[in-house]
Amino acid sequence: MRPMPRTLSLAVCLFDNVASTDFQGPAELFGFISPRGYPKRDWAIEPAYLIDATYLSVTMDPVYTMSGPALVPSRTYESIEEDEQFDILLVPGGIGSRTTPQAVLDFLKSQAPRAKYILSVCTGAEVLGRAGILQGHKATTNKRAFTRISSSEDGKGVEWIPTARYVVDGKIWSSAGVTAGMDMAYAFLQKLVGPEVSDVIRTIVELPKRGDDVEEEFARYYKLI
């Protein structure tokens, strides 16, 4: 049996009325290098890391997304021990991001300082802003909600980039709305495991290549530029 690469732990932060594609899109890509998905493929170049996802919620009750089936979480936020640290935090958006449960914010505040990477999709940036994680950083978010979020009290002290499909600022990665999360996730995989492995994944799911240097068309649609 071939040796397993080093595994990074991923916390997917769920709440009711979350947008399912916000987290399922990146999760689809990350699943190829999960402990379960990795052994199923013969990699020409072995990935340097695996990603093992844990789906967190306020309770163990099913999480009702904005669309699609309800999801049973892996654990609750309160079950995380004080000395337990996740390597990657993924914060999706959706209508539920407007009224983020305090348990989500408390978890992010405690985990963010030592996390290796923090990723938000769509209005997940609103959640990060509310937790104080985006202060002094560049970020982007869903273009329809861009003005509301960037001009809010939680959005102050953040350099919001209206034209970006996704933004990378240190360990913080933020994307525009919903499908942009997959573009960001692909770029994240390029950084984490290299272009050879990430391109195998991209071509299997048939994801078009769109970099962060391309002007986001929806910024113009919503008259942000």
pLDDT classification of 157: cutoffs 50, 70, 90: very high
* Residue 28 pLDDT > 70: yes
pLDDT classification of 217: cutoffs 50, 70, 90: confident
Partners of residue 90 on adjacent β-strands = 12, 119
pLDDT at 192 (0 to 100): 97
pLDDT classification of 214: cutoffs 50, 70, 90: low
Share of the chain above pLDDT 70, in %: 96
- Which of 38-42, 90-94, 149-153, 193-197 is least confident? 38-42
39 or 110: whose pLDDT is higher?
A: 110
pLDDT at 213 (0 to 100): 63
Q: Which CATH number fits domain 6-221: 3.30.1600.10, 2.60.40.180, 3.40.50.880, 3.30.70.141?
A: 3.40.50.880
CA distance 170 to 44: 30
pLDDT classification of 43: cutoffs 50, 70, 90: confident
Assess contact for 143 and 219: CB atoms under 8 A: yes
Residue 225: other Cβ atoms inside 10 A:
9
Domain boundaries, the chain: 6-221
Closest CA to 146 of 117, 109, 175, 182: 175
pLDDT at 41 (0 to 100): 82
Q: What is the mean pLDDT of residues 194-209?
A: 94
pLDDT at 86 (0 to 100): 98
pLDDT tens, residue by residue, 161-182: 999 999 999 999 999 999 999 9
Mean pLDDT, the chain, rounded, equals 94
Assess contact for 96 and 18: CB atoms under 8 A: yes
pLDDT at 2 (0 to 100): 63
pTM, to two decimals? 0.95
Identify residue 35 by its one-letter amino acid code: P
